[in-house]
Amino acid sequence: MIRAAAAILVAFAGAAHAQAGDPEQGESEFRKCRSCHMIQDDEGRDIVRGGRVGPNLWNIVGSPVAHQDDYRYGDGLLAVREAMPDFVWTEEELVAYVTDPTAWVREKTGDDRARSKMTFKLNRNQADLAAFLAANSPDAP
Ligand code: HEC
């Protein structure tokens, strides 16, 4: 009896985690992003060393789309920024974006030929990853 109840509790805790996103799981998930993205704070300290194919993802939650001044974004993300000047990244929007960046850009712009320069798609553990990025976003609301 008690063991069964414990098992149910564990299952519940697991489900709750999956929904809210676990930043520690997300940290290891970020290995998939590192080839293209670094996380480097405003003082130039590396939180995660990574490539420069994509923009630095420090402080992404709470920031507008295309938030790094020194990065050359593609037309798709720039069009989203123009269409939605008040938009800021949330964990939910990050989950949607990393699942299918080009589909996300098309939905936001209403232009079915728009695309994101990011061709990588993450099809599992997106919420964990978003929680990890939120943990590295000190200015997030
Ligand atoms: C193969 C390279 C590559 C990989 C792997 C990759 N990205 Fe990207 N990412 C890009 C590029 C390139 C852009 C710029 C997109 C554009 O300008 O259209 C981008 C843009 C982004 C943006 C928008 C940033 C902003 O300033 O608005 C986010 C968020 C993002 N990536 C998150 C991730 C996450 C999280 C992962 C890991 C799951 C990941 N990316 C993996 C190349 C990559």
Write the CB contacts of 94 (distance below 8 Å, at least 6 apart in sequence).
60, 61, 126, 129, 130, 133
Q: Which of 120, 122, 126 to mutate to test the pocket of ligand 1 (most atoms within 8 A of CB)?
A: 120
Tokens of 42: 């405003």
- 76 CB under 6 A from ligand 1? yes
pLDDT for the residue numbered 14? 52
* Contact by Cβ (8 Å): 95, 127: yes
Distance CA 119, CA 58 (A): 20
Going residue by residue through the chain (141 aa), what tens digit of pLDDT does each one get? 666 666 665 555 555 444 689 999 999 999 999 999 999 999 999 999 999 999 999 999 999 999 999 999 999 999 999 999 999 999 999 999 999 999 999 999 999 999 999 999 999 999 999 999 999 999 998
pLDDT for the residue numbered 1? 62
Tokens of 118: 């990011």
* Contact by Cβ (8 Å): 57, 71: no
- 67 CB under 6 A from ligand 1? yes
